[in-house]
């Protein structure tokens, strides 16, 4: 005997009119089938949740692996770029030093050739040597500034990207 039949019999047994008893049983049956979950419904839902949890765990592991690989790649790229900048800087410093040495050698040579010149000529040559040295210093300072800006830019990129990577990792 079903629950609906038992309830109907119980209601009619206590003198509830048959129409009202049938309405109560139908309302209860509708409520039970439309709003209540059965044990099999809950078991199916648990199975679905476990499957989703497993998929999410796999997805998170995959994203973590990809992100780690991306971070390693960026790290390698930055290391290579910093090495390149260092190499460029070293080349520019060597070049500037060579030019400066050549300039100084030229000035010294001119001074030795014109020792016998008058004080006015000597002062003119000395002034010319100072101007060349100042130009070389200015050029070296410009090279130093460019290099500092490049290194600073790389540091800004690294520092700006690091929080994003860490936030993606959930750290």
Q: Is 65 helix (H, G, I), strand (E, B) or coil?
A: helix
Residue 92 has pLDDT above 70, yes or no: yes
Q: Which residue has the higher pLDDT, 4 or 1?
A: 4
Task: Characterize 27-37 residue by residue with b for buried, 16 or more Cβ atoms within 10 angstroms of its Cβ, and e for exposed.
Answer: eeeeeeeeeee
Q: What angle do CA 13, 17, 21 make, to 5 degrees?
A: 75
| pLDDT confidence bin for 118, thresholds 50/70/90 | low
Is pTM beyond 0.75? Reply is no
Contact status, residue 154 vs residue 85, Cβ threshold 8 Å: yes
Positive or negative, the Cα torsion across 144, 145, 150, 154?
A: positive
pLDDT value at residue 1: 57
CA–centroid distance for 101 within its chain: 45
* Average pLDDT estimate for 110-138: 81
- The structural domains of the chain, with segments of one domain joined by +, span 67-169
- Least Cα distance to 96 among 139, 131, 65, 129 occurs for 139
**Interval 35-89: pLDDT, tens:** 888 888 899 999 999 999 999 999 999 999 999 999 999 999 999 999 999 988 9
Q: Show the tokens assigned to 25.
A: 């049983």
Residue 63: which residues within 8 A CB-CB, separation 6 or more?
Answer: 168
53 vs 168, residue with greater confidence: 53
pLDDT of residue 152: 86
The count of other CB atoms within 10 Å of the CB of residue 119 is 7
């Amino acid at each position: 005997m079903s629950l609906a039949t038992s309830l109907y019999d119980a209601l009619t047994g206590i003198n509830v009119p048959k129409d009202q008893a049938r309405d109560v049983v139908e309302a209860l049956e509708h409520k039970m089938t439309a709003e209540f979950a059965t044990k099999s419904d809950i078991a199916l839902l648990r199975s679905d949740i476990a499957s989703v949890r497993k998929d999410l765990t796999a997805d998170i592991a995959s994203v973590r692996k990809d992100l780690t690989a991306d971070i390693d790649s960026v790290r390698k790229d930055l290391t290579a770029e910093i090495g390149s900048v260092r190499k460029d800087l070293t080349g520019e410093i060597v070049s500037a030093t060579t030019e400066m040495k050549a300039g100084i050698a030229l000035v010294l040579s001119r001074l030795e050739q014109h020792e016998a010149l008058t004080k006015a000529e000597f002062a003119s040559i000395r002034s010319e040597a100072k101007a060349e040295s100042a130009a070389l210093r200015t050029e070296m300072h410009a090279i130093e500034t460019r290099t500092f800006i490049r290194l600073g830019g790389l540091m800004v990129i690294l520092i700006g990207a690091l929080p994003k990577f860490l936030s993606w990792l959930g750290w």
